[in-house]
Amino acid sequence: MADGPTINTIAERAGVSIASVSRVLNGLPTRQDTVRKVMAAAEELGYVRNAVARSLKSRRTNQVAFAMADIGNPVYLAMVRQIQPVLKAAGYRLVLHSTDAIAADEIDVLHSLGERYVDGLIMSPLRVTGEHLKMIAAARAPVVIIGSVPEGTQVDNVRADSRTGVKLALDHLHALGRRRIGLVNGPLDTVPGASRAAAYAEALETLGLPYDEDLVEVGDFYRAEGARAAAALLARNPGVDALMCANDLIALGALDVLRASGRRVPQDVAVVGMDDTDLAAASWPSLTSVSLGSAERGKAAAELLLDRLQNGEREPRLVTVRPRLAVRASTSGAEPAVTLSRTDSNTEGEAS
């Protein structure tokens, strides 16, 4: 091919960057107008890579994409560690796509399935819009969603039971004598933010504790936002004796604020996170956290996708991963960790 067309000449003919040409020819998610330009230029110039030619003939790429909100979030890293070996054992390569939780980017990834640059898609959206559901229904390749979708959605689905997880956390704090339990949450227009907010209110009612809006602060699922939100809540309610945080990153931000303000953890304020990432055990003090089974969800999603690739006509399946509470120093004041759970196994059924 030394004297023939190259990605450089294709890029020049298509009017796009060399990186864009490389993404298209390697089957990575790319905007559809770019795909059309690159493929048209490649055809005009007579450039066909052997792998591309084989995939066009067989209509298989032996690639699966995983689209997630934030590739730097330990939750998604835990999923990747389980998804990749399952797919690799079946002869598939894993393509990662970080969407920054931008709905338009996720919709574009779903739309790109029509180009058959991957054989299937695992997606974990923070927000599920009508456009998401429309594109899922029209998808030209198998899709598995990690996270809650509206009942009746015809898609293979793996979800966490975060409502039970929040109840485990609040029951634990209540048993320790905590009565002024604040919630530091993520955005309420996201699936996890809405679920945690509802679960917090329900758990308080079950425990006979009043719901107080002043004990709730909404931020985002990042450490800096967790710190900002926790500082605002504590300034408004200095008598708070416990914080339920919507994920571990928020909880780490809360710990930063508590240390800076001279409050002792857990003597003055107990802290619970969610996700039980590697950061929870490594923090100081070590963080009590609700595990939502990130690794288990990743493995289940990969297995569902492989089964769908082999059995395309079967009914969609729902797998729910039950939560566990890992108790550490941020509530108990002592090590080692103790794990509490309702059930430790993956089950099929509804999640609240």
Q: Which residue has the tokens 């699936």?
A: 191
What would the pLDDT profile of 218-246 be if each residue is shown by its tens digit? 999 999 999 999 999 999 999 999 999 99
Give percent of the chain above pLDDT 90: 72
Residue 252 or 59, more confident: 252
pLDDT recorded at residue 337: 44
**pLDDT band (50, 70, 90) for residue 55:** very low
Q: Is 320's pLDDT higher than 60?
A: yes
What would the pLDDT profile of 100-113 be if each residue is shown by its tens digit? 989 999 999 998 88
What would the pLDDT profile of 170-197 be if each residue is shown by its tens digit? 999 999 999 999 999 999 999 999 999 9
pLDDT recorded at residue 334: 64
Residue 53 or 320, more confident: 320
